[in-house]
Structure 1
């Protein structure tokens, strides 16, 4: 149940002098440390809030709040594994969410395309992800700059769709209540996120897209030398990331119950922080989606526990920022000689 730490194995076999089982033990120990950190947070807040933290209602709240960053985290992790970064998340979510809301039944009109509204919202995310990938690979613009621009493109699209009319509310009942509906005792929003996580793990373990993402992040030059179409697969990764952000925008709009150009606000920080805290290297080639999922749960538990403990929102923000800075330092220091944040 662990993701691969590196794509180097795609390109060269391990040295005979280094037994494979030793590498596996090191990986398991590191991954276990992240799980133990999550368990430690749960134990601390359970002790501080014995009557409220581990109740079924609060556990479901934690899982529901983690669903959107879990979905976005699948695409964000794949992009970071290649050594790039995607900052367009919030703009893509806004554009996809507004597209979905205006194409389904809402307070502005009776237009309802049914399931096609969901498809259209995700398609907007795919289109914006394709834009990011093509500009990054064809025009050689750093992903940091490209995706920052696409963020505002998406935000602009969402703002135009929102217009100057009344807020488009979703009708009560029906699909609006789907995310919070319980299935097997768990909110549907989290079950959807779990599907994305499992699909992402499958992609990284058993498909060319996942293996090539690790290899490209480890070394683009070696990957090209081994016949990997680097530029094409980087575009594919950005398209997947756009689809994930689009799906997250649709889900966020359902949970909000209305259309909003800023439905994705705050998601980028949580997602990137979770990727780093989970142990995925910002230089690419090392990490995985399961690690990101653990990072998302750690941040969600942290925020939830601080709220239940009565900590001021300003202090909550400071704590989250401190955790991110420490995580970045710990994760990047051993690889500082090859760190490529704006690749």
Structure 2
């Protein structure tokens, strides 16, 4: 019987990087996220906002200087008791059983993630043999089947190829095959289409959607491209400087964005205009502050066009602006009456 409730829950998660010469840097601050079973949660934001660090925390592959001072990462698979990943030793057997087996990850750049001195087939074989009781021959046959499933032509021959012998699109497909080799409950895709051309991006997105349907897995999709979010996600969380400033159902967030940062992101997207005259793009003014110089209050207050006095001094609490829609903004708090919810 399938378990009830979300597959993955991040509760009040903070991630801090320490340095012997400088003060600790808070990269992720009190993040709350919920990933539903079989659904896709998109994590969106500018570069450096904490998306990849959050994903790496889930797999406990953070840098040695990083620590999780507070918060929980509750993983609740169908066939096992829930576990708080944040409490596990990264090198423990329990964590190694989860990493790559129950939770897999597709990294940003396959050329730097795949070993250049081992063939594609050997690297996928190793993943299968590590987590399952199979012979090398059985592992190779499964590898070939996976390469064929992700659309790599001539999979038996390609299994003997080295990463540098494949195009960017084929390397990304090989990374997807490796991530799916143990039929994970959760697939983390960290900007898997960033380095690809537009046509190949569309093919990879179609492939991920199809594989999600085939395997019934949940997916955490990390991107800075809102167009990709609209195409693949069920839910979306918008991050800025380590904070989740808005989250909810993708249709609600796109139809009625509440946070000024979300609105600014959507306004900066180029749009096809039918008018004869051209319109200038609307960039977000200013630059992302360094985590060392994080504003005391709202993380977006230094760039927000509608900021007022409390924004720079007091961090806003999440406010429910719909059934599954929450926004961390003082402007929302000021506009709402006690007990009122924007629907």
Q: Shorter-chain-normalised TM-score: which range?
A: under 0.3
Q: Which has the higher helix share?
A: 1
TM-score, structure 1 length as denominator? 0.24
Greater relative contact order (Cα 8 A, min sep 6): structure 1 or 2?
A: 1
Q: Which has the larger radius of gyration?
A: 2
More strand per residue: 2
TM-score (norm 2): 0.24
